[in-house]
Amino acid sequence: MAKFDTVEHIRWLGNHMQQVLEYGHRAFLPGGFGCIKADGKVDDTRPLELDLTARSTYIYALGVVLGIPGSLRRCDHGLRSLTHTFKDTSNGGWFSLVEPISEEQRRDNASGVPTGQNIFLKSSRSMSYLLEAAAAATIARRPLGKSLLDEVIEIEEKYFWDESVGRVNDSFTRDFSQMEPYHGMSSNLHAVSAFLVTADATNDPVWVDRAARIISFVIAEAKQNNWRVPEHFDADWQEDKEYNVGTPADPRRPYGINVGHCFAWSRRIFEVSAALKEFRKPVPEGYFEAAKNIFDRMVKDSWRQDGRSGFFFTVDYQGKPLMRQRFAWVATEAIQAVAALGFAMAENGSSYEEIDPYIEFYHSWWDYLESYVIQPDGYWVGELNPNNVPDDTVWPGAPDIYHSVRALVAPRLPNTPSKPMAVAQGLLDHPVSHQFHEAIWV
């Protein structure tokens, strides 16, 4: 079985990444980036989402560092939108959803009008995407990046990071006077990613320490649940296995175990390990074993477990399938996780024979995406039914290119705190210059 770094595979990854970046241009809207529908057109009727705009801004900041033409103006458009359209000038912070704005309003740097039925308008998940985008733009040296990053850090530290428990709060009302009586692993998952990019952008190790505190909690919870990471907790951080019972297809807070998030946790553990090493801090004992156990558990629970290729979306606390729909983003998280695991195994001295089964998974999962998901124009089918036929039950269309670009870049980089800084340091396709990963690339 070929390794991750054959010349043609790397070329294939790069070609598809450029196609996806070009496809993502369609998401451009006044005031941000929108959701791309299945027909390839952007939906300009739905509210503008902070999540989608921040994620696109992050991707095009990465594109700037990669040197992909067109990324500069799209990254800067995202930064202007995040600085003005979503900003709550009365109470501070940023709205998760705002009404669409006109081109004239965009030119005037007008603030958007918040919308949505949920009273908790200030979301930690959205803040993490915003923090990640601002940090990546700072690494890319975009003019608005650093000022935005400073503002986001202030709000993150004031309201969302809870130093007493070492995790983030989930969401607040508009004026931050009321916090939702719920805590979620999803928000903390995205916080870890954002904290690591912020550590690279600011060279401040406090963000690595915070990410590591979240990881330690996750590992402890996963160990108690047979290496499945629980999603939902009550206001006192007690695990709530009945939360949203009967709704395993909820796109944000599904009942049960979220397979894609568990793969992402496995990778995050390796990334936090890399960050601790780069900031000359000790890596707690058991990180590698925990990440590998979480990964192996998700493969056993979700990959081809109904006889057909693909991953389940959710399983129950014993690993039985709840939601059999296949989502492209789940497969991209699995690919990023197996690449991170392969690098970490090499770093730990594993033989090629020990790593080879994971490389087999890696190539099988790319074959799966090529068979059912990846289209010639850069469009990736976002959702498939259990027979791997395109479907729009949960997430219509292809919301954005965040997961696909990350999956196409990840195998070309070693395990480092963040992709933007790794690219800026010249590690793309040159991981032998990174001390921890020579074994698998030479």
Q: Where are the alpha helices (DSSP H) in 24-93?
A: 50-66, 71-84
> What are the Cα distances from residue 214, in Å, to 192, 210, 385?
7, 7, 34
- Catalytic one of 183, 190, 403, 437: 403
Q: How far apart are CA 315 and CA 292, in angstroms?
A: 19
The per-residue pLDDT for range 197-233, each reduced to its tens digit, is 999 999 999 999 999 999 999 999 999 999 999 999 9
pLDDT of residue 279: 95
Give the chain's radius of gyration (CA, Å): 20
The per-residue pLDDT for range 320-356, each reduced to its tens digit, is 999 999 999 999 999 999 999 999 998 888 888 899 9
Both tokens of 280, joined, read: 């000359």
Residue 18 makes CB contacts below 8 A (sequence gap 6+) with 68
Q: How far apart are CA 440 and CA 343, in angstroms?
A: 7
Q: Please tell me what DSSP assigns to residue 160.
A: I
Q: Is 261 a catalytic residue?
A: yes
Both tokens of 425, joined, read: 């340091």
What is the CB neighbour count within 10 angstroms for residue 442?
Answer: 9
Q: Is 239 or 248 the better-scoring residue by pLDDT?
A: 239
What's the mean pLDDT in 72-76?
97
Both tokens of 184, joined, read: 């979620």
Residue 434, pLDDT above cutoff 80: no
Q: Identity (one letter) of the amino acid at 9?
A: H
Q: How far apart are CA 308 and CA 209, in angstroms?
A: 41
Both tokens of 255, joined, read: 């009942």
Which residues are bridge partners to 231 per DSSP? none
Q: Is 84 a catalytic residue?
A: no
pLDDT of residue 37: 86
Nearest of 164, 225, 32, 172 to residue 110 by alpha carbon: 32
The per-residue pLDDT for range 37-56, each reduced to its tens digit, is 888 899 999 999 999 999 99
Percent helix, percent strand, percent coil in the chain, to nearest 5: 50, 10, 40
pLDDT of residue 432: 43
Q: How far apart are CA 236 and CA 254, in angstroms?
A: 20
Nearest of 233, 250, 247, 33 to residue 129 by alpha carbon: 33
- Catalytic one of 261, 363, 430, 437: 261
Q: How far apart are CA 74 and CA 358, in angstroms?
A: 36
Q: How far apart are CA 408 and CA 260, in angstroms?
A: 17
| CA end-to-end distance (rounded Å), the chain | 15
Confidence of residue 266 (pLDDT cuts 50, 70, 90): very high
Which residues are bridge partners to 94 per DSSP? 87
**What is the largest distance, in Å, between two alpha-carbon atoms of the chain?**
61
pLDDT of residue 277: 96
Cβ(314)–Cβ(256) under 8 Å?
yes
